Structure 1
Amino acid sequence: MGEARAWARHLLAGRVGAGVLDDVLLLLSEVLTNAVVHSRSGEEESGRVTVRVVWIGEAVYIAVTDAGSPDRRPAVRAAALDDDGGRGLLLVETIAASWGSHAEAAGRSVWFSVSA
């Protein structure tokens, strides 16, 4: 996860403001964590997750593709106050300009955009 954050920071440094960069890195961490914890990518030592960064107009789009989950689609859930987790996609929904997910041949992609 640290490598992906460092790579995204390197790509975006100087192209977006510090606040936008912080938002992108936070949301990237949340989506990557979900990919490892909730997909088949995290079940095997050889599991793979792919990160794509695309700049379109005035927005940065990030897509994280994992090996998918046979029975679950990513969804915002209501976490109880004492839950240790479960707020990642709520953060994505709150901070990102837009987000979504779709099936891929290799699994599932979760993407988000942040206005630059």
Structure 2
Amino acid sequence: MGFTVGAHSARHLRRILRTFLTRWDMAGLTDDAELALTELVANVVQHVPGRHCTLLILRRPDGLRVEVADEHAGCPRPVRPECRGEELDEGGRGLLLVEAVTDRWGTVPLPGGKTVWFECDV
């Protein structure tokens, strides 16, 4: 599904994700997967001109994979707190949350953009 996302889009996308997880009998993954999806969508809203992305939600034999693709070439990296100037800065920690609540995550550079993905195991 392709979307142009805004400040309130994550709420609707979380609902879609929750529906899939419930139907797939993976409701135990909901909280972590919703948090990770919210962070990826927030990155699109903040960093991608035009705020357009494509969302892919995949059922895997051992869990879930979510992919968010966009047309911004820069691949994100988590910003470690020890590398930041201000300890109380709000930005730059989203991917640390994704890393903390998922089993795996990564980026795939694409011509003219990238895909950021995460996986949660049941």
**TM-score normalised by the shorter chain: which range applies?**
0.7 to 0.9
| Contact preservation (8 Å) 2:78, 2:95 | yes
Q: 1-side partners of 2:35 and 2:100: how far apart?
A: 12
- Deviation track 1:37-78 (CA, whole Å, cap 9, x = no partner) reads 112243xxxxx2111111111120000011214xx3210112
1:73 is paired with a residue whose SS is coil
User: Out of 71, 74, 89, which is 1:83 matched to?
Assistant: 89
* TM-score (structure 1 length as normaliser): 0.83
| Contact preservation (8 Å) 1:31, 1:64 | yes
* TM-score (structure 2 length as normaliser): 0.79
Alignment of 1:1-116 (within 5 A): 1-14=10-23, 15-18=25-28, 20-42=29-51, 48-69=52-73, 72-79=74-81, 80-105=86-111, 107-116=113-122
Corresponding residue number in structure 2 for 1:45: none
Residue type of the partner of 1:58? D
Matched residue count: 108
| Contact preservation (8 Å) 2:18, 2:27 | no
Q: 2-side partners of 1:51 and 1:115: how far apart?
A: 19
1:6 is paired with a residue whose SS is helix
Which segments of 5 or more consecutive residues in structure 2 lack a partner in the other structure?
Answer: 1-9
Identity %: 29
RMSD (Å), alpha carbons:
1.6
Which segments of 5 or more consecutive residues in structure 1 lack a partner in the other structure?
Answer: 43-47
Q: 1-side partners of 2:50 and 2:33: how far apart?
A: 22
Structure 1 residue 106 displacement after superposition: 5.2
Q: 1-side partners of 2:114 and 2:42: how far apart?
A: 14
